Amino acid sequence: MDDYLHSPVGEGFFLPGEWEPHRRCWVQWPSRTDRWRDLMPQAYTEAAEVIRTIAEYEPVVVVVREEDAAQARFACGRNKNVEFLELPIDDCWARDTAPMYVSNGEDAVAGIAWQFNGWGNSVHGFARDAALAGKILHHERTKSFPADMVLEGGAISADGYGTVLATEECLLNEDRNPELTRPEIEERLALFLGARKVIWLGGGLAADPTQGQVSRVAVFAGRGRVLVSEVSDPDDLDRATLADNRAHLESAVTARGESLTITSVPLPQNPQIGFDGTRLASNYLDFYVANGAVIVPSYGDPNDGIAASIIGAVYSDRKVIQVPTPVLAKGGGAIRRLTQPEPALPSGGG
């Protein structure tokens, strides 16, 4: 009972859908030179374009290392809707390392500082990113809930009504929380996010360096609506996994007992290749839903326009804008992974 009373849900907080109004967007500036190599200038350019585009629709806070701040300000240009917060970071994936913001739907927003272990210890040197959520919440004087579980923002998708999507490959991975059982993980999702139903999918993309994050293969796009990645090539390594995920969703119901409307979004037609010559987990679900717009990645691929059109039809009340992100993709992500939304309050306060 004590755990419940002092949890976000016990204090009236829940995780809203990403399409609900935002106070602002948090972004981290590309920082890891050993990841970006000689394409660091291009990573700066793409990140700055994403930031400037989002800033047309909502304020953006860019978290940047002190030594990179001048360069980031120059790249983003003078913009009253963009501010910079200098803090130590390891790289730019705010979706996984910035606070996950929850709201009580009335007069308060709080932040969850989940544990971060470098995507199952798959990278070296992540201590600054692991400490970042707590530092941001302390700096902003935002109510903070430290969580005793490893979880990245990209590992879940929520509908704002008590239903959460996740994959077994990611959340049940022994490199994340080996000491926790599935029911114990579900309990934490309930206490911290308000999840009354977890829809478990099998896995993510084969090339995913984050070990199967759900946001590359399935995301909520409104109450009862899910966008899923799809591949048409019968010989593609991801075909069986994506078909199985869709079958699970077709038979699932939400926390409110409602069936799901499922819309397929194709993966890029041509394989996207990383720094080491291996295939990337590039996809079009790696978008950001801003106030009044959806910012969708493009890769110079024949499916760019098709994917944007499908996503735009689902978010018919918003403008669809595509931003090229081929270099960000080489670093491990695109627009969703670069960003973390902070919800607005009904009163308009923060």
**Rounded Cα–Cα distance for residues 8 and 16 (Å):** 13
pLDDT score of 350: 47
For Cα atoms 233, 221, 295, give the angle at the middle one, nearest 5 degrees. Answer: 80
pLDDT score of 234: 86
Query: Distances in Å between the alpha carbon of 75 and those of 18, 52, 300, 310?
Result: 27, 10, 23, 31
Q: What phi and psi, each to the nearest 5 degrees, are found at residue 325?
A: -135, 35
Among 108, 56, 112, CA closest to 79: 56
Helix (H, G, I), strand (E, B) or coil at 21: coil
Among 163, 88, 166, 168, CA closest to 131: 88
Among 157, 122, 149, 156, CA closest to 133: 149
Q: Which two tokens stand for residue 325?
A: 């992100």
pLDDT score of 334: 95
Q: What phi and psi, each to the nearest 5 degrees, are found at residue 274?
A: -90, -175
Residue 335 has a CB neighbour count (10 Å cut-off) of 26
Pairing mode, strands 288-290 and 293-298: antiparallel
Q: Look up residue 124 and give its DSSP letter.
A: S
**Rounded Cα–Cα distance for residues 260 and 238 (Å):** 22
Residues shown for the chain: 350
CB 183 within 8 A of CB 151: no
CB 330 within 8 A of CB 293: no
pLDDT score of 37: 83
Mean pLDDT by 10 residues, the chain (350 residues): 75 96 98 88 96 98 97 94 97 97 94 96 91 98 96 97 97 94 96 97 94 97 96 90 97 97 96 87 97 97 98 97 96 95 76
**Rounded Cα–Cα distance for residues 148 and 165 (Å):** 20
Q: Which two tokens stand for residue 53?
A: 């585009």
CB 21 within 8 A of CB 291: yes
Phi-psi group of 71: left, alpha or beta (phi > 0 → left; psi -120 to 50 → alpha; rest → beta): alpha
pLDDT score of 142: 97
pLDDT score of 205: 96
**Rounded Cα–Cα distance for residues 181 and 187 (Å):** 10
Q: Identify the structural domains of the chain with CATH numbers, from first to last.
A: 2-343 (3.75.10.10)
